[in-house]
Amino acid sequence: MSYTADKTIRIIAVPMDLGASRRGTDMGPSALRIAGLGATIRDMGYHLAREEDIPTPAMETRQVEDSHARFKPQILSVCTQLGERVHEIMTAGEFPLVIGGDHSIAMGTVSGAAAHFRDRGEEMGLIWFDAHGDMNVPEVSPSGNIHGMPLAHLLGRGDPDLAGILGFSPKVDPKKVALIGIRDIDAGERKIIRESGIHVFTMRDIDEIGMAKVARQAMEIVTDGTGGFHLSFDVDGCDPSVIPGSGTLVPGGIRFREAHLLLEYCADSRMMTSMEVVELNPFLDQGNVSAERTLHLITSALGKSII
């Protein structure tokens, strides 16, 4: 069992799809619950607190006020509520498992985790598992979709309101960030990524040196001098043959066993203090297979092993 076995895990669902172009990620939490997320975690021997939902507005009830940052006021409100709750949960000694929802929710989750470490006078690490860089800012984003911008804002770039959630910025030192699995980068964000100082492991890196070495290097990056790290897991980091149920599929991704290995390293480190899973879209899935496979990946991150 992993180091979190003596802790309480609290599932927080954030059913939001305002940050994306394709609808359906708001049903991601339901898909994971139907796959048996809560029962599986209990079966692993964990204590599971009462699950929670962060209220999110529907796209149909809101208007786009800024085409460069679509639904910014609503996303800002949801992420602020989420950040406050994650901060409270971690302060109480619990492990927050956030299920989304599109990747814009990470601005809330990571803000809350960062606030917790800030209270303790510690730095935090961040693993960002994704096919995309998520380093756009409103000025250069070709779509205005905020789910392509969260990492940039967590590093203090872009819109001041989104970057300043919970009243401080940046949330994490770029030297403590490992971005893993990218293979689809917009022209504008490529420059931002290069200038940012984060550590990037592309699919070419994974192909050349293998996931085991990438995982070991990532653990060194996010645990060196930190109080712990957060894992932000976008299911589209996996190859579409593994996780077909996502609206942002990019061929040539991480294989199922490779993803398990990375998450096993996260558990073995004994320093993962929070986790989120995003961009699961059951409307694009095949019989909920994506949610079921994602559930297996979550259990690896929480310490399930072969023997």
As annotated, the active-site residues are 103, 130, 132, 134, 147, 234, 236, 279
Q: Which long-range contacts (CB under 8 A, 24 or more apart) does 302-307 make?
A: 302/2, 302/4, 302/9, 302/41, 302/44, 302/46, 302/267, 303/1, 303/2, 303/3, 303/4, 303/5, 303/44, 303/267, 304/44, 304/267, 305/264
Continuous segment of H or E residues that includes residue 270: none
Q: How far is CA 139 from CA 20, 177, 196, in A?
A: 17, 23, 16
Cα 214 from Cα 264, distance rounded (Å)? 13
**Burial environment of residue 251 by CB neighbours within 10 A (0 to 12, 13 to 18, 19 or more):** exposed
How far apart are alpha carbons 266 and 219 in whole angstroms? 7
Contact 2, 302 (CB under 8 A): yes
Give residues with Cβ within 8 angstroms of 60, minimum separation 6.
none
Residue 95 gets the label, from left (phi > 0), alpha (psi -120 to 50) or beta, of beta
Q: For residue 184, what are its two tokens?
A: 């689809």
Whole-angstrom distance, CA of residue 43 vs CA of residue 47: 9
Q: Are 84 and 113 in contact (CB under 8 A)?
A: no
Q: Alpha-carbon distance 44 to 6, whole Å?
A: 11
CA proximity to 27, closest of 45, 48, 12, 13: 13
